[in-house]
Amino acid sequence: MQCGLCCDGTFYGSVAIGDDESERLGRVGLRVLRAPEDRGDGALTMAQPCSALRGVLCTVYADRPSACARFECTLRKNVRAGESTLDEGVANVARMRALLATIRGGLDCPDTTSIWEKILELEEPAGADAAAAARDYAAVIAAVGELLNVGRAVFEPRFAGGGTR
């Protein structure tokens, strides 16, 4: 109850939604989108960060998508199996939160926006601006690298940044 990284857009850019869930999720206020046929298979998804996330808690927990109900990250599995302690888990979540704060601060990225969207929006500057931009983003780039490494090692081995759960 201290994490929420699987819902805040850190690990996933969207959640796959079953056709039979769309109406129910709409009733609880979740926005379900159908991918355009020309850019996918027309599958239903829900964008991350999740609009039901408040801090680290889900406001529609009892009615959450089935993909969310089935998901359990490696960190949680390891803590439940006794392979990691709760204190180690809390420390790993805190490290990820610190990295996210560095990334969000460096990219001027609010919590309601995916860090991956902001990263993809960056344009490579030309000429004299390139060196200044490189200096400005050095901490962000280092934090993104560490976030990916910690995310893969501790939370989700398939973590690539912004994929679909």
**With the C-alpha atoms ordered 122, 147, 99, 12, is the resulting torsion angle positive or negative?**
positive
Helix (H) or strand (E) holding 164, with range, is strand 163-164
Q: Is residue 57 part of a domain?
A: yes
Q: Is residue 6 part of a domain?
A: no
How many other β-carbons are positioned within 10 Å of the β-carbon of residue 27?
10
Higher pLDDT, 130 or 32: 32
If one counts the domains in the chain, the total is: 1
126-133 average pLDDT score: 59
What pLDDT does residue 117 have?
83
What pLDDT does residue 92 have?
95
Q: Is residue 123 part of a domain?
A: yes
What pLDDT does residue 1 have?
72
Is residue 154 very low, low, confident or very high in pLDDT (cuts 50, 70, 90)?
very high
Q: Which domain holds residue 126?
A: 12-164
Is residue 125 very low, low, confident or very high in pLDDT (cuts 50, 70, 90)?
low
Quick one: what percent of the chain has pLDDT higher than 70?
86
